[in-house]
Chain A
Amino acid sequence: MKHLLISFFLLGLGFSQSKVTIQDNEIEINDNEAVVEVLGMVCSMCAFGIGEGFSKTDFIDKSKFTDGVSVDIDAQYVQLGLLDSKNVNPEKIVQVIEDAGYDVNLLFILQNEKLTKLSTDKLGILQPVAFNFTSNNN
């Protein structure tokens, strides 16, 4: 019975996480997280500005990563912890990146077990990309 309960618990976790790909890097994303491919983020000072921007928002879960933000300059992405209580508007995430001086290429948000993928078009407008949620699949 105990093992059965653990199995159900693990199965539940499985449906609330997935993997996404940014520049050939496979990244694990959990429920209430976002992964953003940031164009132009080439140095630690660039990344610092992005982290500062997110620290002033009301939708970041600061218990995850480092104050809610994980930066990978090599792979050019930031991963964000999102508050469970907030249904985060993707435009708010994009605004923080742009206020730091950078551009968003791809944005993945996993909330309420729904994975959303958006990309910036040639006009710089964020557009949803057809994307079926499958556990542990991109």
Chain B
Amino acid sequence: MFRKFFALIILFSSISAHPVIFKNGKVFWLTQNPSFNDIRFGVSKTSNWLIGGRLLEDKKTDEAFALINNNFLAKRWNSRNSQANLYLLTSVGLNTKNSEPMGSLGIHGDWENRQIMIMQMLEYYTHNSSIVATSRIAYSPIAVDYSKLSIWLIAHYRVEYKDQKYSNMLIPVVRLFKKNYLFEFGFNGDDSFFSLMTHF
């Protein structure tokens, strides 16, 4: 069972945009998917470390969590016309209803150039002992310059392992971004995905 699960992760694992940004940059990030409503605000204290607050609502259990979020850029490979990253992600906090402690651990890897992006993320949530793997493969038909609207077509795949059961979904997502604003929307007939992010 685990072999199958990790094979899926290796094949597809997924994510979102850069978890750490420029030094002293701030990020606001709103995500909604079939499992979570997730609101984050963070400040990159350095180009390697972002700290912030996170409000996470688990839609399936109707629980909500207030968390402190730490994202660490473990390694970045900058090359001509491409970039690759490895991040370590942690959240610690409380269940807002019963004050039970809650945390999450994650690892995120990505590679991108001007028109192709591959991202993988693996997260563990302590409140329900779930493991979530998200994978993305994205393509931008046109490489546009800084001031123009950039359009990406993304295959977003998500696998959740909880209570010895798997659930998964594949959602086509459209990403639009211009300068410091990013918007994503995905829908597959059953599930929807929405994300809004800005850096400032």
Give residues in A with beta carbon < 8 Å to B: 23, 39-50, 52-53, 56, 71-74, 76, 98-103, 105
Q: Contacts A42-B82, A42-B114, A44-B179 known; A74 to B143 CB distance under 8 Å?
A: yes
Pairwise interchain contact A76-B81, C-beta atoms closer than 8 A: yes
The yes or no answer to B1 lying at the interface (CB within 8 A) is no
How far does the alpha carbon of A102 sit from the alpha carbon of B140 in the complex, in Å?
A: 22
Q: Is the interface of B mostly helix, strand, loop or mixed?
A: loop
The yes or no answer to B145 lying at the interface (CB within 8 A) is yes
Q: Contacts A40-B79, A40-B83, A45-B17 known; A50 to B22 CB distance under 8 Å?
A: yes
Measured CB to CB, the closest approach of chain B to A70, in angstroms, equals 9
Pairwise interchain contact B145-A74, C-beta atoms closer than 8 A: yes
B98 / chain A contacts, CB cutoff of 8 Å: none
Q: Is the interface of A mostly helix, strand, loop or mixed?
A: mixed
B46 / chain A contacts, CB cutoff of 8 Å: 99
Known: A73-B143, A99-B46. 18 other contacts (CB 8 A): A39-B80, A40-B76, A42-B83, A42-B114, A43-B114, A44-B146, A44-B147, A44-B178, A44-B179, A44-B180, A45-B18, A45-B199, A47-B146, A71-B145, A98-B47, A100-B22, A100-B23, A101-B73
B146 / chain A contacts, CB cutoff of 8 Å: 44, 47, 71-73
Name, among A42, A50, A53, A101, the residue most crowded by chain B CB atoms within 10 Å (CB to CB): A101
How far does the alpha carbon of A100 sit from the alpha carbon of B46 in the complex, in Å?
A: 9
Measured CB to CB, the closest approach of chain A to B74, in angstroms, equals 13
Give residues in B with beta carbon < 8 Å to A: 17-18, 20-25, 46-47, 73, 76-83, 112-114, 143, 145-147, 150, 177-180, 182, 199
How far does the alpha carbon of A99 sit from the alpha carbon of B73 in the complex, in Å?
A: 13
